[in-house]
Amino acid sequence: GIYLDDVYIARPQGALLDVFDVERIEVLRGPQGTLFGKNTIGGAVKYISRGLPQETSGFASVTIGNYNQVDVKAALGGEIGGKDSGLRGRVAVANLTRDGFGENLGTYGGDVSDKDITAVRAQLGAFSHEDFDVQFALDWMKDDSGMRGGKLLAPNTNALVNILFPGTSAIAPLDDRYDIRSGMRNENSTEMKGGSVTVNWRPSDNWVLKYVAALRESDTVTAIDFDMLPAKIADVRAYYSDRQVSNEFQVNYDAGGRARGVTGLYFFNGDAGGQVLNNFYNLSFGDTQGTVNTKSAALYTDWTFDLSDRLKLDAGLRYTDEDKHAIAYNIGYTDATFTRPNGVVAANFNKTINFKNLSPRVSLDYQITPDIMAYALFSRGFKSGGYNVRANTTAVPRSGEPFDDESVDSFEVGSKMALLDSRMFLNLSAFHNKYKDIQLSVFTQFIDAAGNPQFFGDFTNAGRGTVNGVEAEYQWLPTDNWLISGNLAWLDTKYDEYIDRGVNIADQMRFTNAPDFSGALNVEWRNDLSNGGNLAVRGTYSYQSEVWPTTDLHPGIRQDGYGLLSAGVTYRHNDNWSFALQGTNLTDEEYRTTGYNLVAALGVLSGFYGPPRQYMLTARYDF
């Protein structure tokens, strides 16, 4: 789950978080839900923006890089109306542009995998002494970046494709991993906006009350050419719309004694839906429309008890009651104008389902020495089920039925150590996770009534799975100038049960994006200069072993192990000026992040790749 200043964002956009003048990022692992916000099954990332300053401050930065990258960011904040007014404000803006990593060599041309983003965020706060404040935040973002570039991994040898579009099988994959030959217009635009209000009240030294209300909306229109060819084999035009309202009431208690804790109520009401226009083979035309409304109410509490000077118990509990209401109407049309229905109704339903869940969290921390702490933790995570509004109940009747909620029981033991007079920090952990009713997003392929192969996006419950792992995080300061840090991880993942058409195929399936081994090494040298400035040089190498990016285990999409090398130099001239030269993926490693295996239905096998080598220079002025 992604949070921005205590607001859960159901469908985040990376650029939205990039502009928010972020002060820090908190990464919480494992199931979450007893401390704040919405329940998440696999951790949470909290972006904390800079607070409203009492004195005027801000920054301006310009970044230029290869692919004609130009990023401009600025922020300004301070008191409004003098020191006694109690009003503070801050405004942050950003414009991020870059040429594409590839281009469309097809009908319409243009860059793909480019960047064109504008974003604004404004904050206003009213502070009454030290015990009461109200803070408002508004944000807006427009992302007009083009469609994503990918690579056709093999010629399309599908018999029907080559009958309808002769010569398709002779079209070899392009050499460049980002270029495409799409016959669709390069259209991909997202507009996102939101607002929130946060009220903090400290009625006494022991109690803090907080209320957070937020409204968020987003709209997207995008073109998806699954086949990446000029032919109309699998062309999709999609419109997505999201709206969410959340309210949270929270009470924190800490009297400085042996017990402290938090209790809260969380309410969420969100609509996620849209329309998808499908053109398969220029023969089969479908209109998929639907909306899922989610209403969720939860009560959570988490308390810490100092059982002794060394032993600490933390116990939390969350109760969630969630309704999913789905409306779907998916019909066929006679041609690409999508104005004349052909009488085929693939799905037409209006259904509601309720999910209830009780998730506990219990941990024990034992301070072995002042510098070494050991812990044991148990937590239960939950992700509600729902309906697939892209279902085709005519071809696959079960696709209109609800998929179940997913749950995990997580067990973890570990230690946190400060060694060598606090010049080395080492965190070790081992975990054992048992999953039930694992939710997967898959493509279901089928033959329609006219004998044409088709597919639709589907949700399914895979069954049960086990994830075991060991992790180590380290940070070492061998001298005042050097910092060495990083992490190592080992994973053992397997499906214990994966039912496909009544058969358990667990031994044939793999968890997605779960490398057996991964790790990173960061080396940084810092030095204070005689002119009062500071110089820092940093290098990072990260590695992960083989992964399967998708549930469709085609060897052409499988990603072998690879490493990425990044480096940078930062020179801070004084408290105001700083300059940074950065480079990422310096070896220009080619690695796939996902792909499509639609060989059976459409003859399509494609892959999408991570960013190429990039380098950039940033000048920043703080005041």
Average pLDDT per 10 consecutive residues for the chain, totaling 623 residues? 89 63 87 92 88 92 98 95 90 95 92 94 92 95 91 92 94 94 92 96 96 96 93 94 97 96 98 95 93 98 98 98 97 94 94 97 98 98 94 91 95 98 97 95 80 82 95 97 98 93 89 96 96 96 96 90 98 96 98 91 92 98 96
Q: What's the pLDDT score for residue 286?
A: 94
- Does residue 91 form part of some domain? no
- Does residue 55 form part of some domain? no
Q: What is the DSSP letter of 415?
A: E
CA torsion sign for 152, 158, 161, 162 is positive
Give the predicted TM-score (pTM) of the model: 0.91
Pairwise CA distance, residues 334 & 340, whole Å: 6
Half-sphere CA count of 78, side-chain side, radius 13 A: 10
**Number of C-beta neighbours around residue 452 at 10 A:** 15
Strand order across the 604-609 sheet: 151-152, 604-609, 592-598
- Does residue 575 form part of some domain? yes
- Does residue 313 form part of some domain? yes
Pairwise CA distance, residues 527 & 533, whole Å: 9
Cα 620 to Cα 34, 188, 539, 566, 573, distances in angstroms: 40, 31, 21, 21, 11
Determine contact, residues 80/87, Cβ cutoff 8 Å.
Answer: yes
Distance from chain centroid for Cα 595: 17
- Does residue 444 form part of some domain? yes
Q: What's the pLDDT score for residue 540?
A: 98
Q: How many domains does the chain have?
A: 1
- Does residue 88 form part of some domain? no
- Does residue 478 form part of some domain? yes
- Does residue 122 form part of some domain? no
Q: What's the pLDDT score for residue 321?
A: 97
Q: What's the pLDDT score for residue 13?
A: 63
Q: Residue 77: CB partners within 8 Å, gap ≥ 6?
A: 50, 52, 53, 56, 57, 58, 88, 89, 90, 91, 123
Which helix (H) or strand (E) is 14 found in, with range? Answer: helix 14-18
Q: What's the pLDDT score for residue 195?
A: 96
Residue 263: closest CA among 317, 298, 302: 302
Q: What's the pLDDT score for residue 20?
A: 65
Q: Could you list the residue range(s) of the whole structural domain that residue 479 is in?
A: 150-622
CATH of the domain at 495: 2.40.170.20
Pairwise CA distance, residues 371 & 363, whole Å: 19
Residue 511: closest CA among 529, 491, 528, 527: 491
